[in-house]
C-alpha cells in the first residue's frame, strides 16, 4: 500500500482482516467439534473446510496488501 488513496483504505482492510481471522478461528473450532462427532455430516464438514481454506487465502492476500515485500 504505497499511494495516499491506498493508505485511506488501510483501517478498513485491517478491520476486515481481524474479522476474517476471527471467522477462521471459529471455523477451525466448528470443524474440530464436527469431526469429533461420530455421526457428523460429511457434506457440512467439507463445506466448512472449503470456507476455511478460502478465508485463509483471503487473509493472506490482505496481509500482502498491507505489508508487501519491497525489494531493495
**Size (the chain), residues:** 72
pLDDT given for residue 71 in this prediction: 58
Q: Which domain holds residue 33?
A: 4-66
Chain segment 22-64, per-residue pLDDT in tens: 999 999 999 999 999 888 899 999 999 999 999 999 999 999 9
Task: Please state, in angstroms and rounded to a whole number, the distance separating the CA atoms of residues 11 and 29.
Answer: 27
pLDDT at 66 exceeding the cut of 60: yes
The residue assigned the cell 485511506 is 8
What is the number of domains present in the chain?
1
Question: What number is the average pLDDT over the span 4-12?
Answer: 80
Q: What is the pLDDT of residue 70?
A: 65
41 within domain boundaries: yes
pTM of the model: 0.80
Per the domain annotation, does 71 fall within a domain?
no
Amino acid at each position: 500500500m504505497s499511494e495516499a488513496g491506498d493508505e485511506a483504505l488501510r483501517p478498513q482492510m485491517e478491520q476486515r482482516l481481524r474479522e476474517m481471522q476471527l471467522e477462521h478461528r471459529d471455523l477451525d473450532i466448528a470443524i474440530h467439534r464436527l469431526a469429533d462427532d461420530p455421526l457428523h455430516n460429511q457434506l457440512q464438514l467439507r463445506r466448512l473446510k472449503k470456507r476455511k481454506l478460502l478465508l485463509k487465502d483471503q487473509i493472506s492476500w490482505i496481509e500482502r496488501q498491507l505489508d508487501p515485500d519491497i525489494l531493495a
